[in-house]
Structure 1
Amino acid sequence: VPTDQPLHWDSSGVRIRTSSRRGSEAYLRPTRSSKKLRSDEIRAALEVLALNGVKSVFTSAIGQPEQSFFMSLGFEVHEELLLLSNDLSMHVPKPGRATRRALRSDRAHILDIDTSAFPRFWQFDTAGLSEAIKATPSSRVRVNADLPPQGFAITGRAGRQGFLQRLAVHPTHQGGGLGRSLVADALSWLQKRRATDVLVNTQLGNLTALGLYESMGFTRQSKGLAVLRWDVSE
């Protein structure tokens, strides 16, 4: 039955939610490897979304095995992303600016920063922010120590693998070292928890972010990621 309320469910090896801002769009994130996904179950989920008024479904940033699986179901590449890695056995720089743990009262500021820093497609809504924080077994959100927050970073860890899930600085405060401090803080936290390396992805054209990451020891990986898109047939 079609509904105006956002849909959110986790089954068949995927986590799906509709956008609270753009109800005709939905986002799908695999929670198991492509070898354990079933085509018939994914097709059934797509049919449910279409019946609820969804016109386009976007995957999270996925690797090549998952890309092949979803492309066999009619998904197409929406945007390719660079994947970078940093070896945490190396020296980690100290943050040049103070940071602190983000509070629940900071959420509105964090969403405002995110909206200001990213193009429309990449902007978090409340559900997207929560999903990014919960994407790994262990995570934390940091902001600059000043009030109100002007930048934030979401860092996650799964075993020895670290992830820089999100980094954003409000455009009016970019270039002052805040992004570098948030990355340094994230690397230090992961290193103290014995993560061996950290991954981050960024858009091909985001030269500012790419320059920051590479200046802090990240190196480009040969195999990148991609966001795929599936559109309802008219």
Structure 2
Amino acid sequence: MVTALRPAIRQALPTDQSQIANLMYFENRVHRHLDWRTPLDWLGAPEYWVLEEQGNLYAAFACPPDPETAAWIRLFAVSSSVSLLQAWNILWDTARSILQGRNLTVAAIVMQRWMEELLLETGFREFQKVVVLAQNNTPFPWQPNSHDLYIREMTQEDLPSVAALDAAAFSPLWQNSLASLKYAFPLSEISTVGILNDEIVAYQMSTRNPFGAHLARLAVHPQHQGRGFGYLMVQHLLQNTRAQGLARLTVNTQSDNTASLALYEKIGFRRTGEQYAVLTYSI
């Protein structure tokens, strides 16, 4: 039974972890951002709110900016006992009011139809689509390293240079901040950098999963794009994953990123048919 909500809205606290986890794992209406960090890892951020009534949490919403101009909706979870639209309107109106004037974009990669409909009705617009590709142990053309790109394992000391490269290679919405990279690095399974003339000009971070591996990030500095460095980085990664017995490698990229799609398809990736809308709202 759906009841009318007369809650108090407040910032989420670390002490809310258990109740927010219950919303995330036991409710059906849950949107979570595809991220290195779980929504619980963001507890303590000021842009994280809950709806509470008599000590019970009925909804949670988090959109902490990272980087500072991009506020991804990292969590929206609602109890089935309350109105979805009412909970959303209370939380979104609060978030929009507090974020107003900060010149940022609120965004979501939506994987469920109900969330897509809710955002579109609220004024969000489709910005892009993210498509999924997979390399299923397919043979690919071997590319010789004619530019003497030196590929080695990434270290913690590389991260500031990697963050600067990332900022140069991607638009603000898709950038990884240094803080985010510091969080992601120890969670990655295989992370490498490509070095040319003592400068990091490319990097990749990949994770392991029960089905194989996932290429979570690939970047080449704009000054060095078009020289085959991206191909060499993925080729080196495929060597590593196959040596570990991981036959499947997946990757996500934007449907309108023709250069990225061409690279992945050249090295044996094929679209899986999965795609997800990226919706944005400018504040």
TM-score, normalised by the number of residues in structure 2: 0.62
Partner of 1:171: 222
Shift of residue 46 of structure 1? 4.2
Shift of residue 148 of structure 1? 2.0
Partner of 1:217: 268
Shift of residue 98 of structure 1? 3.2
Q: How does 1:1-234 map to 2 (within 5 A)?
A: 11=21, 12-13=23-24, 14=32, 15=39, 16-22=62-68, 25-29=70-74, 39=84, 43=88, 46=92, 49-50=95-96, 52-53=98-99, 57-60=106-109, 62=110, 66-75=111-120, 76=124, 77-88=126-137, 90-91=138-139, 93=142, 96=145, 97-130=149-182, 133=185, 138-146=188-196, 147-229=198-280
Gaps of 5+ in 1: 4-8, 33-37
Partner of 2:49: none
After superposition, the Cα gap between the structure-2 partners of 1:138 and 1:148, relative to the gap in structure 1 and judged at 3 Å, is: closer
> SS where residue 111 of structure 1 aligns?
helix
After superposition, the C-alpha distances for 1:24-54 in whole angstroms (9 at most, x for unaligned) are x42134699xxxxx95897376466346426
Shift of residue 183 of structure 1? 0.6
After superposition, the Cα gap between the structure-2 partners of 1:118 and 1:82, relative to the gap in structure 1 and judged at 3 Å, is: same
CA distance in 2, matches of 1:2, 1:27: 20
After superposition, the Cα gap between the structure-2 partners of 1:67 and 1:228, relative to the gap in structure 1 and judged at 3 Å, is: farther
> SS where residue 118 of structure 2 aligns?
coil
Shift of residue 130 of structure 1? 4.4
> SS where residue 273 of structure 2 aligns?
coil
Instruction: Output the amino acid matched with 1:104.
Output: Q
Count of aligned positions: 215
Cα RMSD of the aligned pairs, angstroms, is 3.7
After superposition, the Cα gap between the structure-2 partners of 1:194 and 1:40, relative to the gap in structure 1 and judged at 3 Å, is: farther
> SS where residue 19 of structure 1 aligns?
coil
After superposition, the Cα gap between the structure-2 partners of 1:31 and 1:46, relative to the gap in structure 1 and judged at 3 Å, is: closer
TM-score, normalised by the number of residues in structure 1: 0.73
After superposition, the Cα gap between the structure-2 partners of 1:95 and 1:192, relative to the gap in structure 1 and judged at 3 Å, is: farther
8 Å Cα contact 1:85-1:221 kept in structure 2: yes
Gaps of 5+ in 2: 1-8, 12-16, 25-31, 33-38, 40-61, 78-82
Partner of 2:36: none
After superposition, the Cα gap between the structure-2 partners of 1:95 and 1:128, relative to the gap in structure 1 and judged at 3 Å, is: farther
Shift of residue 2 of structure 1? 10
Shift of residue 152 of structure 1? 0.5
After superposition, the Cα gap between the structure-2 partners of 1:40 and 1:17, relative to the gap in structure 1 and judged at 3 Å, is: same
CA distance in 2, matches of 1:112, 1:181: 21
After superposition, the Cα gap between the structure-2 partners of 1:191 and 1:155, relative to the gap in structure 1 and judged at 3 Å, is: same
After superposition, the Cα gap between the structure-2 partners of 1:221 and 1:2, relative to the gap in structure 1 and judged at 3 Å, is: same
8 Å Cα contact 1:151-1:169 kept in structure 2: yes
CA distance in 2, matches of 1:188, 1:48: 49
8 Å Cα contact 2:188-2:205 kept in structure 1: no
Identity %: 23
8 Å Cα contact 2:119-2:279 kept in structure 1: no
After superposition, the C-alpha distances for 1:142-177 in whole angstroms (9 at most, x for unaligned) are 101442211101111111232111111111112222
